[in-house]
Amino acid sequence: MERHALVRQHLHIIEHVLRDHQLWQSAAPTADAFESTQPFCMDTLQPHEWLQWVLIPRMHALLDAQLPLPADFAIAPYYEMALDAAQIEREPLLKALQDLDALFARDAN
């Protein structure tokens, strides 16, 4: 399968995990939550919110526009720590994020 299609497939898996664990939100956070200067908007968004409202839409936008994808991409290490602090079921989501990271690691080699 082509790289863009694999990335899109993994984004859908992440969305399904969020939905399955009742972490998918129907309303977006306020606009000021996205003005954070911190990585992952860690001071304004919960880890799962950043996935839903930042990562997934931005990656889909890159894919839809057939723009280059990030060359150096790894979010699972942050989520290993963030999901512990968030007190949510971490293993299914962490696995999905590690699988997404692996697509980028494979392409970097």
The structural domains of the chain, with segments of one domain joined by +, span 3-26+42-108
Are the beta carbons of 40 and 82 closer than 8 angstroms? yes
Do residues 15 and 108 make contact, with C-beta atoms less than 8 angstroms apart?
A: no
pTM: 0.89
Query: pLDDT of 29-80, one tens digit each?
Result: 999 999 999 999 999 999 999 999 999 999 999 999 999 998 888 999 999 8
CATH number of this structure's domain 3-26+42-108: 1.20.1440.40
